[in-house]
Structure 1
Amino acid sequence: MVFREDVMIRYLYPYRYQASLAVFLMIAEVLVDLYQPRMMASIVDEGILGAGRGGVPDPEFVLRTGLAMALVVLLGGGCGIAGGICVNFCAQHFGNDVRKACFRRILSFSMEQVDFFHTGGLITRMTSDTAQVQTMVSTALRGVVRSLTFLCVGTAALLTLDIHFSLVTMLAIPVILLEVSVIVWKSNPLFRLWQQKIDGLNQIMQEDIRGARVIKGYHQEKRENLRFGVANEDLADTQLRVLMIISCMLPLANIVMNAAIAAVIYVGALDAASGRIMPGTIMAALTYIVQILNGLLMFAMILQLFARGLTSKRRLQEILDQGNDVDGDGCALPAGRNNAAYAVELRHVFFHYPGQQEDVLSDISLSVRPGEMLAVVGATGAGKSTLIRLLLRFYPATSGSIRVFDTDIRDYSVHELRRKITVVLQRTDLFSLTIRDNIVWGCDDFSERSVREAARIAQAEAFILRQPEGYDTMVSEGGMSLSGGQRQRLAIARAIVRRPDILVFDDSTSALDMRTEAALFRDLDGYAQRRQAEGHPLTRIVVAQRIATARHAERIAVLDHGRLIGCGTHEELLTDCPLYQEICASQSQTEEAVIPHG
């Protein structure tokens, strides 16, 4: 399902009253600005030149009109300030809402959608593109209203002074509009390219910051500097092309505007010489034409901002229009799940990654009973982790079905499915929170006792208590203050504290020494037995590279190039599965000596 959410309409609608007030105040400010030349003309013609008084100046008239003009300026300034407040209120809240909506949608993305947009591109859209659209909204509420009001009302005011002045303006406006149209037409296609170049630059920055230790370890700073430099040069070249085009706009418009001012002075001088108008009227006309053409120039600059803003709007719209490819309508968990025949069942599952033709998984049929422990082994690239991703609906199966407690996973809501299935991934992600907060992250129902129990089962409590503040010790960004094994144990504790019905380890004990791993599985077995006694059996699926890890399971599934070629106990596979025999033979005898058989 695709959610249509128009950025401009949907997210401005809650602030429509403030936006309407901003428009009204902007118009009022411009009208006040356009009234001032009239007052100035009166001061010059009547107060200073004494028109209607035989050429005798009228100081009192100058004082009265000057005071009135000061009050009008104050009124206009007040409208401008209030209008600016309303504009900023709308723009900031609009940007805030759009950013939050995009972030919510990104968090609901399937892995396929994340792969399509790339992390760097998503960051650019959340930051740069949102800022561009926010600027466009602010400009629309303030700049467009002001410039169009100057253009329309100013032209009407100019008409009331002298038709010749309006003719000059009518000749200047099309020339400026033609210049602006050509410049916008030339620069518009480059704005999307500009944002794409920022995407690429952000992607490199993210990769290099995340992989800083690898870069230093391989002494590849120079290589990455060069790669960043190429991307940065591409961005700079694109920006330069855009800015060179745009830089032509102001000088060309100024040429036309100054020519128009010279024409007004010339026409005004002829009319004044013939006695048709007074010098004050010429001053007012000059002010009006400057205001009109400045308004037009402002509108030209706004069009350039709009061209970039609309490009960013389309990029944000692409995020907001994305549905969740793997999310279903959802259902409640079947009440009789403990009596289900299978906790997990795969029926003729095929899968290939988007954009690829070759199947990563081919005709996988496999079942796991409630409370059972199943290990999945195979060579690198056999499809083990892919199998887990399908179970969690990170990707939809190309064909076949996956059932959890006798219900197809597509009939569960993602929230319900992942509440019942908890995975510990090989790559451990921790957050800049305390150790306790990292353990209970994602768990709403927990107690201190359950936190400590999860830490003990995960073999984490001993090193936690050695930390300066125990469970309240802060973890550095990405967990870099902890070793790989410590991070994995915290991730395992985080999974256990959720009390899932199905616990999945995706090669998540690879950083543990064999003695610690043996203690972990021993305590996990005890925990599973307690869950069984409570009537809530814990089903475990363990993706393992080491046979010593897999032998903890009641059954072992063997994958080879995406196909299930064997499933049984360790002893059965040693007899019937040649690939399993090869894997066992390749494992060191030391590992088997540390972990007892059975």
Structure 2
Amino acid sequence: MIKILKKLSPYKWQLALVFGLVFAQAMSNLLLPTLMGNIVDNGVVEGDISYIWEVGAVMLGVSALGVGVAVLASFYSSKIAMGHGRDIRRDVFSHVQTFASQEFDEIGGASLITRTTNDITQIQRVMMMLLRMVIMAPLMMAGGIIMAVSKDAKLSLVVLGVMPFLVAAIVLIMRKGMPLFKAVQKRLDKLNLVMRENLTGVRVIRAFNKEAVESDRLKTANTNLTDVTIKVNKLMAFLMPLMMLLMNLTVVTIIWFGGIRISGGNMQIGDLMAFIQYVMQIMFSLVMASMMFVMLPRAAVSANRVNEVLQTKPTIIDKNRSATTEDFKEKGSLEFDHVTFYYPGAEEPALRDINFHSNPGEITAIIGGTGSGKSTLINLIPRFYDVAEGAIRVNGTDIREIDQADIRSRIGLVPQKASLFSGTIADNIRYGKTDASIEEVRWAAKIAQADDFISNMEHGYDTNLDQGGTNLSGGQKQRLAIARALVRRPDLYLFDDSFSALDYKTDAKLRQALADEVTDASILIVAQRVSSVIHADRIIVLDNGQIDGVGTHKELLASSDTYREIVKSQYGEEGIA
């Protein structure tokens, strides 16, 4: 929580203003009971009407001042809290952008969303209360005690006798509440996870008639969250009635003993009324403190969760060295130099001793069975993960020696699952190159075999896409993703099973267009279909994370049993012959 509070430093002058306003509000509140007591003793009892009007006017002015500074304090505390929350969200988002895939796997996407939204909202709510109450409550308590003692020291012993019981009740409830607040946030993570899976996998759920099963999953997650939230609220709901009971019993006791002291001539009626008001202020300051203690544990849990994200150090760190022309002396080349890679926590490598070199204009294809490591190999090139042994070189330079942004700016990646964004078709293609002209966009679309279906749309390249491109077919989305990579004209193209959603005719046309147009860059294709790799300059067969064979289609038919099995499974015995 302290580290999160340090982010308030840009608002130090506004904080000073809020503290000053809250101080003025507290002083005005402390002055009012004394003025009221003076009216009773010197005005009402003495029958001095003019005195009543004079002091009443002063009370009205003090009240107006208190209201004015209270409004200003609320305004500026809200402004600080909202700005503080905005800054934290910005810092979290910026820091998450530096994460490698390993950090996303460890924290989880659903948890990151909860921490960026719900957890930071909890911090904002507490900050608004804290900025006012952290000054108001101590001032009201200290000032109330001083003023009460000044009115009647002996009667003040009643208040001192009650305070230990109040403090003990608050501490006990807080000790029981803290673990429950942690449980609330964890179960909220789980609920978000289930909801996210249901929304993203809605088609699969409906296709397999699993609505009832998923409904039960959501019900279970929701019930778990509800149960622990009810426990927390029951615990916290017990605090306020307890405070009010003790406060009212204290007032009754003060009136009892105060009446005895008035009848004995040791106290005036106005002083007793002022004393009761000061006791009420003392008790209300404790109520404010208790509310603060109710909110603080949950905010502390949220702050720790947010801080956990901010303190997570990326496993892949740049050396802060931008690329130069000397770094990329072999433009368009890709080399795997005896690369071995382990997933975090794995005992066996996902890839072992991968070694090959691709020159500009060459097409290198990767093929293999499910789980052989094809996509893992692709993910190593943009440094989504770092190799354990060996080196990967793009344009002749080890990718670990220069910034990730420089490496990725020279790569055109088309993932296995096309990800499109809301906006126009042209905007989605320009995602690969922000300043691309419409001619460059059309060039990329034509090579990706997307220009025909785009031109047939009513608004052409200005057609708006729904979120995720849901108003396009799978093949259309895949072709737009390919065009997005082409428009940046990178030194290295990575196609991660990107042709699987295309029919054989479109696949053949696209590969031919790539071979004709892309002559100064390496092309790496990961594919399941033999037809997508058959004309590659080099085919690498992966089996269980190792290279089983390297060569052309004909060479591998003669030398690799794994490749022959793949060909046989797709073309039968005729394919092998």
User: TM over 0.5, yes or no?
Assistant: yes
Q: Deviations over 1:25-71 (max 9, x none)?
A: 01111110111001111111111001xxxxxx011111111111111
Structure 1: give runs of 5+ residues left out of the alignment.
51-56, 530-536, 594-598
What is aligned with 2:241? Answer: 251
The 5 Å alignment of 1:417-432 reads 417-432=407-422
Kept in 2, the 8 Å contact 1:334–1:405? The answer is no
The 3 A distance-change label for structure 1 pair 265 and 442 is farther
Question: Could you give the per-residue CA deviations for residues 487-515 of structure 1, whole angstroms, max 9, x where no partner exists?
Answer: 00000000011111101000011000010
Name 1:576's counterpart in structure 2. Answer: 559
Which of 43, 48, 61 in structure 1 is aligned with 2:44? 48
Residue 382 (structure 1) shift: 0.4
Cα separation, 2, equivalents of 1:131 and 1:416: 36
Q: Which amino acid aligns with 1:282?
A: L
1:199 aligns with 2:189: yes
Match of 1:179 in 2: 169
Shift of 1:571: 1.5
Query: Per-residue displacement from partner, 1:473-492 (whole Å, max 9, x unpaired)?
Result: 11011111000000000000
Name the counterpart of 1:363: 353
Aligned equivalents of 1:337, 1:232: Cα separation in 2: 54
Task: Indicate the residue corresponding to 2:549 in structure 1.
Answer: 566
Q: Distance in 1 between matches of 2:136 and 2:320?
A: 50
Measured in 2, the distance between the counterparts of 1:431 and 1:341 equals 31
Q: Confirm or deny: 8 A CA contact 1:548 1:592 kept in the other structure.
A: no
Using the TM superposition, give the Cα deviation of residue 264 of structure 1 relative to its aligned residue in structure 2, in angstroms: 1.2
Give the C-alpha shift of residue 466 in structure 1. Answer: 1.4
Structure 2 residue ranges without an equivalent (≥5): none
1:480 to 470, 475, 482: 470
Please give the alpha-carbon distance, in whole angstroms, between the structure 1 residues aligned to 2:86 and 2:2: 15
State how 1:169-568 maps to structure 2 within 5 Å: 169-336=159-326, 339-340=329-330, 343-529=333-519, 537-568=520-551
Q: What SS does structure 2 have at the residue aligned with 1:297?
A: helix
Shift of 1:406: 2.3
Offset at residue 107 of structure 1 (A): 2.2
Q: Which residue of 2 aligns with 1:532?
A: none
2:154 is paired with a residue whose SS is: helix
Distance in 2 (alpha carbons) for counterparts of 1:383 and 1:474: 36
Please state whether the residue corresponding to 1:181 is helix, strand or coil.
Answer: helix
Tell me the distance in 2 between the aligned counterparts of 1:453 and 1:366.
31
1:335-374 superposed Cα distances (whole Å, 9 cap, x missing partner): 2466439822222222222232222111212222233210
With over 3 angstroms needed to count, the CA separation of the structure-2 counterparts of 1:147 and 1:5, relative to structure 1, is closer
For the 8 Å contact 1:348–1:364, the answer to whether it is kept is: yes
Q: Structure 1 residues 578, 342: closer, same or farther in 2, change over 3 A?
A: farther
Q: Deviations over 1:8-34 (max 9, x none)?
A: 10x211111111111110111111011
**Cα distance change, pair 418–590 in 1 and its aligned pair in 2 (3 A):** farther
Match of 2:24 in 1: 28
Q: Decide whether aligned partners of structure 1 residues 590 and 121 sit closer, same or farther in structure 2, where only a CA change above 3 A counts.
A: farther
Higher mean C-alpha deviation, range 339-348 or range 566-575: 339-348
Distance 1:433 1:591, change over 3 A: farther
Contact kept? 1:514, 1:591, Cα under 8 Å: no
CA distance in 1, matches of 2:85, 2:273: 43
Q: Report the equivalent of 2:4.
A: 7
Maintained 8 Å contact 1:547/1:584 = yes
Tell me the TM-score normalized by structure 1.
0.94
Give identity over the alignment, percent: 37
- 1:323 Cα deviation from its structure 2 partner: 2.3
For 1:274 and 1:591, the matched residues in 2 are separated by 118
Do structure 1's residue 146 and structure 2's residue 129 form an aligned pair?
no
Distance 1:32 1:552 in 2: 86
| Distance of 1:339 and 1:15 partners within structure 2 | 49
Q: Please, which moves more after superposition, 231-240 or 331-340?
A: 331-340
What's the RMSD between the two structures over aligned residues?
1.9
Work out whether 1:588 is the aligned partner of 2:577: no
Aligned residue in 2 for 1:533: none
Tell me, yes or no, if the aligned pair for 2:85 and 2:123 is still in contact at 8 Å: yes
Separation (CA, whole Å) in 2 of partners of 1:89 and 1:429: 37
Q: Determine if contact 2:133/2:292 at 8 Å carries over to the other structure.
A: yes
Q: Return the alpha-carbon distance in structure 2 between the equivalents of residues 237 and 398 of structure 1.
A: 46
Native 8 Å contact 1:361 1:563 kept in 2: yes
SS in 1 for 2:349: coil
Instruction: Give, as a single letter, the amino acid of the residue that structure 2 aligns with 1:48.
Output: V
Against the structure 1 CA distance between its residues 592 and 107, is the aligned structure 2 distance closer, same or farther, given a 3 Å change threshold? farther
Aligned equivalents of 2:173 and 2:329: distance in 1?
71
> 88, 96, 105: which is aligned to 2:78?
88
Letter in 2 for 1:554: D
Aligned partner of residue 245 in structure 1, secondary structure:
helix
Q: Distance in 1 between matches of 2:145 and 2:229?
A: 36
